[in-house]
Amino acid sequence: MHFAREDFSAELSIRAYAAGEITVGQHSYRNSLILSRQGVITDWRPQRHQELTEQDFEIVESLRPEIILLGTGSGLHFPPPGITARLLGEGIGVEVMDTAAACRTYNILLSEERQVVAALLLR
C-alpha cells in the first residue's frame, strides 16, 4: 500500500508501509524507528508495544515536537499511562494509533509543516 501524494515529495515522507516494513523516501526499514523533520533515527530500542518505557521517549522529547504519533504495530495498543502523562505534562501532544494510521497522519502533518514526530513500531 502506497501513501505518497503526487503533490508532496519530501525526503522524509513515508512512501509505503506494509506489515514489518516501512519506506521513507528511497530507504526501507524493518525495525522500529523515529521519524521527524530532522531525520530518521533507526536504532529505536522497543520493537513491540509491550517493551515501551519512559526512557524510550527521551530521544523523542529531545526533538521538541508539538505532537508525537505513536504507531503501535498492526493494532491499537496504549502505552503505560505514565509515558503519556509525562509527555502531556511537557506540553507535547500524543496520539496513539496503529502504525498504518500513524504513517498516513505523519505525512499529512509533515506536509502542513507541523513539528511532528512519528515513533513507529513495526511489530
Q: Grid coordinates standing for 58?
A: 527521551
Residue 29 lies in a domain: yes
Count CB atoms within 10 A of the CB of residue 21.
Answer: 12
Beta strand pairing call for 93-97 and 14-18: unpaired
Which structural domain, as residue segments, surrounds residue 65? 14-121
Specify whether the CB–CB gap between 114 and 83 falls below 8 A.
no
Q: Rounded CA gap, 113 and 101, in Å?
A: 18
Of 67-71, 102-106, 111-115, the least confident: 111-115
Q: According to the model, what pLDDT value does residue 4 have?
A: 44
The CATH number for 77's domain is: 3.40.1230.10
Q: Rg of the Cα trace of the chain?
A: 13
What mean pLDDT comes out for the span 32-40?
Answer: 94
For residue 49, give the nearest of 18, 70, 28 by alpha carbon.
70
In a domain, 21, yes or no: yes
Model pLDDT for residues 7-23, shown as the tens digit of each residue:
444 689 999 999 899 99
Residue 8 lies in a domain: no
9: in domain: no
Cell matching residue 62: 529531545
Q: pLDDT higher for 50 or 6? A: 50
Summarize the confidence of residues 72-92 as an average pLDDT.
95
Domain membership of residue 1 (yes or no) is: no
The structure's pTM equals 0.90
Count how many domains the chain has: 1
Cα(86)–Cα(109) distance, integer angstroms: 23
Tell me how far apart the alpha carbons of residues 75 and 59 are, in angstroms, rounded to a whole number: 24
